[in-house]
Structure 1
């Protein structure tokens, strides 16, 4: 998303009307936004690949600024902070920002009225305001946390997430919730298990997929609908899905934590085998996750290929490397700038590992951070391919923002365990 210094025809007309009769113009525009929705997308003459997107904010009280943060703006720095500020129309309570945006992407954004403008501000999230005029929102209402709504924009040629749509006329699987106790988890961990329609405990064992961040996969990424649709369309065989909920220790659990991985492999999976007819063939088992979960899926594949023969990595956080604290002697997560000439830590681990019977599906968003996300994902991909691993890699047209991971989950499953694998 590129800030556009030219005003759209809509803004020019609005400013003209405000100059003539401010109260009337603002009231009429407020009703327009309520009906039309925010933001306003306008075509660019003689340019088919981009449109102008204007995001508005009506302040309910006197404010000094409105900060906007989105992955299609550069990362916030002292040098570019002006690019992240909406403009105010005269002395009104109406603020706006106009941007030139690719027509084939989806993007999310957050608005922060009266921001401190400090680059590293721990309190910023508390000041976030959902865009009340945007009808498209990602809703996060995780247990034990406060509800968060994140507005997003679907550009005209961004496509649909077809695998996420619930269909009335197809067989549906069922989900059962469990509380799992282990020697690693301090408290019982929530697990949801998806059982496909027609599940038969006496049939041939079922393949299965295990996903971290289970709550988000079910409630935000619509994984249940994805599985129902894939199975109904015979894109994959009926499978069991295990969704492991995250806790406030997510960063610790999903930072290549051997204790967490061992608990899943040596305690959770055997415990579930007693309840479900799960295959013991690693080639029919998938470990997957997003962000840090994608990192951990890759790590768990390397460490436990005897259980998981397929790795589904979505926007893997391969910027990660463990460091040892002098005080606590424990691994911590560190975001560190690395030379593009060097392997990331995960690539180093892959090279140190013997060749394993693993197949990989990886994806990354075109709007994700190039240095920390895209380059490191490509580094891991290239490392795997140099060692003759089977890797399917694709870019999706959004960012690190839940807008495409559900659809890409379907793509990954088709790639890794689709029907075509059984007919080759």
Structure 2
């Protein structure tokens, strides 16, 4: 074990795995490295003042360890479930907090805790200015509160019927009101229909907070509520991401976004609440069916060009060996998915493939799920990185052929991803159309441009390139608007219009939702059928 401290000029720092002298008054951050096994958890205790904002990083070798925060014998927050995660929290009470690291196997972890700072750096509470409540129920609650100074009856009603409130307007729209009880300073929505971290309004001087939206009746979204978010200066590097320190599921909403990983622990901070209005349809390909299940093989891939190693999961559909027994030269479609863990657990892509193949909506298709070595490499590799694109074409694709013993044709080799993953899919296909002929982009970040260049770099490149043999399925959410000079919705529309003008086959769809895996899981099958399914001429 090694323990490093930025400054030891004061009192000697001592740290045992049952307690530590390190506190928020200590100088500099705390850094701990230790080996661990599955026989007993490691514990690290620190002392914090009330209302301090704490950030840290946790990393393990095997990514099967978890990190949780405890106080007074009770779990406060599950900080990491995959052994590789940045975390944050607020110490709402003064006292000793204990980090607990558990492992399912022999492992080694690194834990770094930054020096805490005040969570609320404003001199007075800043309450979002509000208009008159548009919800009839909230108006009635406000009137009752003004007359009686009580919200008991209103909250008892909400507890019975659940949140958010849904009040029909007409056949096409509903008024949806998000609510929270108990916060002292502020409440924000992570995943709000505005695609921003919208503040809720306070009901009079009570501890109830609300905000209403007029939404299409086919809206489908996931969200979290964040009470008492740290109030940091706008220039602070944590100003926007500090919402993650308190964001959690809506306690009165029974609908939770399912994560397709039975081994992954969760708590209210790691769960997402969901909203589906009456006309929102769930994809039939998400549910467990009687389809034969494909085989998943987990392995690693080293790239000489990128000089890094990443986890790779290969999906082989059921019955593939039988199909090739009498025709060894047969080729199969290949679908490559970026953000591989998310496309297995937040989106049940293997299940979707099983169902589509069984129903003959698409032919038997191999799939490869590519993990990111880290969050930092994701941000450097996926946004139109020419070395990453070359590694996919010249290293990964031959490696897949070697691993599977199957050959693939560019016209049925698909790149797929969301956000930066959608951008990477398109950039790579344009760089190597002789390898990748299909692009499935979900809310692609086509606003992106290199530093000091105007937005929509890829769209400008395509405009001046000859038309290439690539087909597209692109979608974006109607709520993905209003941020930046060019937003996701606008840039996706621009790209689709240009592709049509250039003569590409490009299917484009919009949905009533935002930048959200809850939506991406719901329309992934549409993209796969569009690109891999039988065409009318077949």
TM-score by length of 1: 0.83
Structure 1 unmatched runs, 5+: 77-83, 325-333, 339-343
Equivalent position of 1:362 in the other structure? 474
Q: 1:152 is matched with which residue?
A: 274
- 1:288-342 per-residue CA deviation (whole Å, 9 max, x = no partner) reads 1111111110011111111111111111111111237xxxxxxxxx8x6x5xxxx
SS at structure 2 position matched to 1:274: helix
> Does the Cα contact within 8 Å between 1:226 and 1:406 map onto a contact in 2?
no
Q: CA separation in 1, counterparts of 2:132 and 2:293?
A: 51
Partner of 2:450: 322
CA distance in 2, matches of 1:138, 1:253: 29
Cα displacement (A) at 1:35: 4.4
Instruction: Could you tell me which runs of 5 or more consecutive residues in structure 2 were left unpaired when the two chains were aligned.
Output: 1-129
Q: Would you say the 8 A contact 2:216–2:512 is kept in 1?
A: no
Alpha-carbon RMSD: 2.9
State how 1:35-184 maps to structure 2 within 5 Å: 35-44=160-169, 47-59=170-182, 63-73=184-194, 75=196, 84-115=198-229, 116=231, 121-122=239-240, 123-138=242-257, 148-167=270-289, 169-184=290-305
* 1:190 match: secondary structure: strand
Distance 1:192 1:36 in 2: 42
The alpha-carbon deviation at position 15 of structure 1 amounts to 4.7
Match of 1:81 in 2: none
Give the CA deviation at 1:186. 4.4
1:409 aligns with 2:492: no
* Alignment of 1:227 onto 2:353: yes
Is contact 2:339–2:370 with CA below 8 Å preserved after alignment? yes
**Aligned match of 1:300:** 428
- 1:350 is paired with a residue whose SS is helix
- Aligned counterpart in structure 2 of residue 310 of structure 1, from 438, 460, 464: 438
Q: Is the 8 A contact 1:367 1:397 kept in 2?
A: yes
In the other structure, the counterpart of 2:415 is 287
* 1:214-253 matches, cutoff 5 A: 214-246=340-372, 247-248=374-375, 249-253=377-381
Distance 1:420 1:5, change over 3 A: same
Q: Which has the larger radius of gyration?
A: 2
Instruction: Check conservation: 2:312, 2:371, Cα contact below 8 A.
Output: yes
CA deviations over 1:333-374 (Å, ceiling 9, x no partner): x8x6x5xxxxx3112221333332111111111111163212
Q: Greater CA deviation, 120-129 or 392-401?
A: 120-129
Task: Give me the whole-angstrom Cα distance separating, in 2, the residues matched to 1:7 and 1:369.
Answer: 23
Aligned-pair distance for 1:407? 2.6
CA deviation after TM superposition for structure 1 residue 197, in Å: 1.1
1:404 aligned counterpart, secondary structure: helix
- Residues matched between the structures, number: 390
Structure 1 residues 165 and 350: CA distance shift in structure 2, 3 A: same
Q: Distance in 2 between matches of 1:259 and 1:174?
A: 31
Q: Which has the higher contact order (CA 8 A, sep 6+)?
A: 1
1:74, 1:207 → 2: CA distance? 35
Q: Which whole-Å CA distance do the structure 2 matches of 1:210 and 1:171 have between them?
A: 21
Once the two structures are overlaid, the 10-residue window that deviates more, 151-160 or 129-138, is 129-138
Compare the two structures and name the one with the higher helix fraction: 1
